[in-house]
Amino acid sequence: MITVQFTVRPGQGDPSGFDLGDMSVTGGLGTADSAGRTPDQGMMIYLSVTQLLDSLRAFLSGNDRTLTFTGVDTSFSLVFRRVKDGISVAFKDGVIARTAADELASAVLGAAESLSLTLPPGDPAASDYADALAAFRPLVSRHEHGGGH
């Protein structure tokens, strides 16, 4: 089981594609969360999620053994590795989750779709975000076996 959440930090004025926010990924072995860390590991959340969707799509569709993702304007990073039974997700403290590729993709997509509802449609970051979502969606529907979104 893996859960993913993307949040925008409050008090930044009108919503913008450059807003700061946080990522939280929780698995059976721990949690990686950019919030509440010193130094601050908040990131430009919309740009970071766009980058995560693009890089994770390439990783899950390709043959690379490892993907290291670092958010935009932060030191927060996650390492995704292919393992015998799926994908492991690690944070600086070690592995936090071992999950199937389709479960990981579904969790990331759900969180990204929720966050997309907070991004103003005319924002400069909105089209890249929408393009990344559109390119990532088939990865989930291709992997899911009944049920789903």
Instruction: Tell me how far the alpha carbon of residue 23 is from its chain's centroid.
Output: 7
CB 32 within 8 A of CB 24: yes
Question: Which tokens belong to 115?
Answer: 């966050």
Indicate the helix (H) or strand (E) that contains 22: strand 20-27
This prediction's pTM: 0.92
At residue 146, the pLDDT reads 41
Question: Which tokens belong to 132?
Answer: 């990344």
Is 145 a residue whose pLDDT tops 50?
A: no
pLDDT tens readout for residues 20-49: 999 999 999 999 999 999 899 999 999 999
Nearest to 143 by CA among 91, 111, 108: 108
pLDDT tens readout for residues 63-93: 999 999 999 999 999 999 999 989 999 998 7
Indicate the helix (H) or strand (E) that contains 54: helix 45-61
Mean pLDDT, rounded, of the chain: 92
